[in-house]
Structure 1
């Protein structure tokens, strides 16, 4: 019996890995000091929800095959210290994924943006084509119960991010997967608090590229100048495959792929998504999926959760929700919606929620990101600023940062809701962008305005 204990089991990816191991027949226990939904209910249903919150060294026993350590845990965690005393192997999340996939072909998707979308496309196509595969993805995807699968499949598709591995290991996660095939989608500065130096941040992707083995492949987006430069400089003997946006056209608010066999309708849109699609297609080709099979399967792909996700569509007006928060993601999403529906009014609402976006020194990176919107709105929650111990920026600073003099600014979610309720949404698109939730703003009353 394989017996593993999770320190910080409640995290989004951590609890999914725990559930994947239960499904594999492993014995799983865990601890955490707080567990939110949906993790709580899912762990409870699987019978592995901790009986009480906190850290309990008595859970750490010599019969454990290993500890899986979440990023949320601290170095002085009493369970971690007990495990170290007993000499029990301690794995970070990525180390454990590699440990379980050493005999598989490992495909790793990296980049500052587009990772989840590219991984989601690949997973959708492989599932639709009845290919047996394992995976790790950073979001819940339609058609997949878990964000992780570990089985006897010969291949694993991994969304590999550049963020820190664990409290014990401050290197980037994607170094641990030791890829056979790597993809890099884009390089754009974000997470200012973790990566204060842009040159150092860029070098992470160069190092990742140079880990490509002799018989491996590096697939990279040549439309991104930073990626192109790094990939062309990468000293590897493996294959290098550049890509850019798949050729397409827009007719009546619908995007079609231009292929050798005619037009193929798809449900996603925007230059960045067409780049993501092409990158995913290149990976699928490398693992044996023909272009014909890819085009057949991609038509039913609706997109990853909170990536241009349609909340409501009346036929002439639409509400979109998007996870966009970094400048490059924000700009790409606003531009995509306006380009897709040039005749519709675009109301773009951005919540500044992350450490980087709330930081005065980082704000100039948002210059002109909202320009395509007819009405540009920014919501800033003073409580979020206080929690991150940052200075609350005034309206003048924000307007100057976005280079948008007519930017509409709100620091109270009820005032934001009132403003949105005052607008006329006929022949309009409302684009809500945030990694938060506008301080629990009620979307139902806004949706009612569209009906």
Structure 2
């Protein structure tokens, strides 16, 4: 596809990834427009500042005509979207997001970072180190990285780093996104079952990572974490002329409130899982010419991904953190990380059940034993979300039983949660909020300032 003079229409332009793609394509010289039924900040502000915010919300088939060269459809759209149906009727080329990225990277070395956890941090670490050493490369990442303005960069660079998602490709294609990129190098960080609405069994979920590994081409490389039992099994399977690159959690220590790797290199990330992520990034970077010495110099200044282990406020005896953790393995890793950072403090953790999987009775049992680390464990879920999405209601005892903690405290009201937390004494205590949601609209940053 020509890089300029193309007229591109994006259905569901308001998503974090799709809005970034729209901006990247406009910068490449394409004429870009699109639609969505709702757009929130920061995407709304970014689209507006780039002249790409739709004039009106909603879908309108009249916006689609034969002057459009191609339509890119995002996951927020449905198969019966009127604009999508009109594009099909007119025979306009329709791309899914990953297929379009693949078409834009024909002549590049394609590196895909996959896994049920850690892929954003690993991808972000790689991007940071390559930027530090002023290497020429493109990238696609699913979340904002501190110090990096854009989540997508498309140019004539010889390499592209892609965060590979196992969720399905588009409303028209149930195959995982990460199978669409035709990788030369792939990394699998972990394989904890998620997305029960797409993969109803753990077996069906793991099969997707097996497919990814099996698509590694001859002379290609498969990088995998041996600390994850299934990733190790998948990675070690025999494949003709595929290079295996296993990695594991490196040796580290906690000194003066910081995690230290390589003997004397302090890093801004913390927790065993993030030390593992750093090692995964180092393994990939070594394959593309970054030496260990270069890596350790650069990684020391990496601040991590936005909404991952973010410090909201602190004083000499209390810290308040928030994290995007939204699945059992992430809950366990994040709470353990903060306890490891401040082992002498009591940890109060608040976890929001927000995703489809987490609010599904059949999936809840996967939380058994994952919430052991906090000294006080709180679960919150917004009844409005349950009602709006027509989920089956879950009883308090079912949640306590699923987590395996009789002392679990449950809230369904934001004000009651906030009042409870505000009434506590916080000296020598840390507070951790974990969610892909908003705790019912709670202003976490403002609350953190109140208690410290």
The CA distance in 2 between the partners of 1:445 and 1:75, in whole Å, is: 40
Aligned residue in 1 for 2:347: 346
Aligned residue in 1 for 2:280: 279
Aligned length: 448
The question of 1:138 aligning with 2:120 is answered no
Q: Secondary structure at the match of 1:347?
A: strand
Task: Judge conservation of contact 1:425–1:449 (CA < 8 Å) in 2.
Answer: no
* Higher mean C-alpha deviation, range 270-279 or range 51-60: 51-60
User: What is the deviation of 1:58?
Assistant: 3.3
The question of 1:240 aligning with 2:244 is answered yes
The CA distance in 2 between the partners of 1:174 and 1:445, in whole Å, is: 38
Q: Secondary structure at the match of 1:361?
A: helix
User: What is the deviation of 1:38?
Assistant: 1.9
5 Å-filtered alignment, 1:405-424, equals: 405-424=406-425
Task: Judge conservation of contact 2:312–2:445 (CA < 8 Å) in 1.
Answer: no
* Unpaired stretches in structure 2, ≥5 consecutive residues: none
User: What is the deviation of 1:234?
Assistant: 4.9
5 Å-filtered alignment, 1:263-274, equals: 263-274=264-275
User: What is the deviation of 1:75?
Assistant: 2.1
Match of 1:161 among 160, 165, 172: 165
- 1:360-386, CA deviations, whole angstroms, 9 ceiling, x for partnerless residues? 221111112111111111112211222
- 1:2-26, CA deviations, whole angstroms, 9 ceiling, x for partnerless residues? 2211111111111110000111111
Match of 2:87 among 48, 69, 83: 83
The CA distance in 2 between the partners of 1:234 and 1:13, in whole Å, is: 35
Normalised TM-score (structure 1): 0.96
The CA distance in 2 between the partners of 1:331 and 1:244, in whole Å, is: 18
- 1:17-45, CA deviations, whole angstroms, 9 ceiling, x for partnerless residues? 00001111111111222222222222122
Q: Secondary structure at the match of 2:244?
A: strand
Task: Judge conservation of contact 1:210–1:234 (CA < 8 Å) in 2.
Answer: no
Aligned residue in 1 for 2:181: 177
5 Å-filtered alignment, 1:17-416, equals: 17-258=21-262, 262-416=263-417
Change (3 A) 1:76 1:446: closer
CA RMSD of superposed structures (Å): 1.4
The CA distance in 1 between the partners of 2:119 and 2:284, in whole Å, is: 13
User: What is the deviation of 1:313?
Assistant: 2.2
The CA distance in 1 between the partners of 2:240 and 2:123, in whole Å, is: 24
* Unpaired stretches in structure 1, ≥5 consecutive residues: none
Task: Judge conservation of contact 1:331–1:370 (CA < 8 Å) in 2.
Answer: yes
Aligned residue in 1 for 2:430: 429
The CA distance in 2 between the partners of 1:364 and 1:417, in whole Å, is: 27
- 1:132-184, CA deviations, whole angstroms, 9 ceiling, x for partnerless residues? 11110010112222211111111110000110101111111001000011000
The CA distance in 1 between the partners of 2:19 and 2:286, in whole Å, is: 32
User: What is the deviation of 1:402?
Assistant: 0.8
- 1:93-119, CA deviations, whole angstroms, 9 ceiling, x for partnerless residues? 000000000100100000011110100
